[in-house]
Chain A
Amino acid sequence: MPRLALSLFLFLLCSMVLPSISSAQDQGMATGALTSDRSHTGGAQTLEDILARQRGLAIDDSFRAGNTGNPEGAAALNAQLGTLGGVSDPELWRALRYGSADMRASAGGETAAVLVQDGGMRWLDFRAGPLRQYGGGLLLATLGVLALFFLLRGRIMIDGEKSGQTVTRFKAIERFGHWLLAGSFIVLGVTGILTLFGRVMIAPYLGKSTNAWLLVWGKWLHNSVAWAFILGLVMIFAMWVVHNVPNRSDLVWLRQFGGIIGKAHPPAKKFNAGQKMIFWSVVLFGSSISLTGISLLFPFEMPLFAASFDALNATGLPQMLGYGALPVELAPQEEMQLAQAWHAILAFVLMAIILAHIYIGSLGMEGAYDAMGSGEVDEAWARQHHSIWLEELKTPPQGETKAQTPAE
């Protein structure tokens, strides 16, 4: 199941990111690739190719990717017009660029053998462009929607008076796990945003030294606090997964929009459908963010994407959707670039979800914060928002009466 989930996430990545940051080697596979008659340039690229590339169109690069010389065809050294080899400098650079050069490095493994990786520029463009724009836009839009919702709906209050009686909603260990996860996620989110936006949002206004200081400490915090996040994720999964299995009451809750829109109080168990969606988003997105994060923490030692693409190709899904077979031979640097891109995309999505979670758990609903603050909630609140759970809590388990009777 986790492998399938990871594969699905990675497939989404392919559809969103890969076309924009894949390496030159992959460009020839793009659909709708431009083909030109290059006879008048002797097979070299034409003005049409250059203009098309400037317009951002996919170019079939196979005409030059394979144009890397042929040592076998060179005249022998001792022959008339004999040469020192059958490969010119441009052909050698093409071979380096398209990954077909027979490169060997005395140290550093295959990572060091990659001298040119022009996919890096696409990744950089993606990181500096769409990732910042859409990621930042998503967070701002989420804040805007929440502010608008607050203005329109106001705070969701407890109907009637508080009962004055409280029930334990979350035990101390549950609250500890929640705050371990929440605290680390906020630190990770802030430092991640600083890392992505520092160059454009901080350096121009507060200076490069301030930005550098923030980046150095932000990086340390991000890399170190990540382990607390992973531990928190494991804790909440172990403690709450059993309460987050979907059931029929979720359909009722969803049909009534959870009472968030309108005045209804649909019945719910310990977690309602909205909380279950947040739980599974945190678990699945958080796991994927953690995996790619670990891959980035130990560079080049834990490549994830080639194997995942291979597994996806085997399902036939990318081909069925017209993406063709996904690349399964990725340069080590390309693995890192994809890991960073995926890590950041999912982090933005999760941050947007968590902003909504923070809103409804604090400002948006009276009494909700108590559940994670003191762990005690008013019975009136519990009855309105988690009526099935409250009933189960107040009904002694079957057989308890018998168990209290001494067996003689």
Chain B
Amino acid sequence: MKAMISGLLATAVIAVLADLTLENAGYGSDEIFASEAVRLK
């Protein structure tokens, strides 16, 4: 049971970390819409 909860929690943690990393790298949700902005960076 602990492994299951850990796996599900890890899913959430990885999702948040991935979003923050992509945001910092210029591939955040807003930028990806304006892919031109990504290209010009």
Hey, which bits of chain A sit against chain B, CB under 8 A? 107-109, 111-112, 172-173, 175-184, 187, 219-221, 223-228, 231-232, 297-300, 372-375
Q: Is the CB of B40 within 8 A of A172?
A: no
- A108 to B35 CA separation, bound complex (whole angstroms): 9
Interface flags, B13-41, vs A, CB<8A=1, else 0: 01110110000000101001001100110
Q: Which residue, B1, B11, B39, has most C-beta atoms of chain A within 10 A? A: B11
Q: Is the CB of A107 within 8 A of B11?
A: no
- Please indicate the chain A residues that have their CB under 8 angstroms from the CB of B19 in the complex: 220, 223-224
Given A112, A175, A225, which contacts B4 in the complex, CB threshold below 8 Å? A175
Residues of B in contact, count (CB < 8 Å) = 21
Q: Is the CB of B39 within 8 A of A109?
A: yes
Q: Is the CB of B3 within 8 A of A224?
A: no
- A220 to B16 CA separation, bound complex (whole angstroms): 10
Hey, which bits of chain B sit against chain A, CB under 8 A? 1-4, 6-8, 10-11, 14-16, 18-19, 27, 29, 32, 35-36, 39-40
Q: Is the CB of A223 within 8 A of B36?
A: no
Given B10, B18, B32, which contacts A224 in the complex, CB threshold below 8 Å? B18
Contacts A107-B40, A176-B10, A224-B16 hold; do A375 and B35 have CB atoms under 8 A apart? no
Q: Which residue on chain B has the smallest CB distance to residue A182?
A: B7
- A221 to B14 CA separation, bound complex (whole angstroms): 11
Q: Is the CB of A228 within 8 A of B10?
A: yes
Given B6, B10, B15, B36, which contacts A107 in the complex, CB threshold below 8 Å? B36
- Please indicate the chain B residues that have their CB under 8 angstroms from the CB of A221 in the complex: 15
Given A107, A109, A183, which contacts B7 in the complex, CB threshold below 8 Å? A183
Q: Which residue on chain B has the smallest CB distance to residue A178?
A: B7
- Please indicate the chain A residues that have their CB under 8 angstroms from the CB of B16 in the complex: 224
Q: Which residue on chain A has the smallest CB distance to residue B27?
A: A298
- A54 to B22 CA separation, bound complex (whole angstroms): 45
Q: Is the CB of B14 within 8 A of A108?
A: no
- Please indicate the chain A residues that have their CB under 8 angstroms from the CB of B3 in the complex: 172-173, 175-176, 179, 375
Given B2, B15, B36, which contacts A225 in the complex, CB threshold below 8 Å? B15
Q: How far is the CB of A358 from chain B (nearest CB, A)?
A: 14
- Please indicate the chain A residues that have their CB under 8 angstroms from the CB of B2 in the complex: 172
- Please indicate the chain B residues that have their CB under 8 angstroms from the CB of A112 in the complex: 36
- Please indicate the chain A residues that have their CB under 8 angstroms from the CB of B14 in the complex: 180, 224-225, 227-228, 231
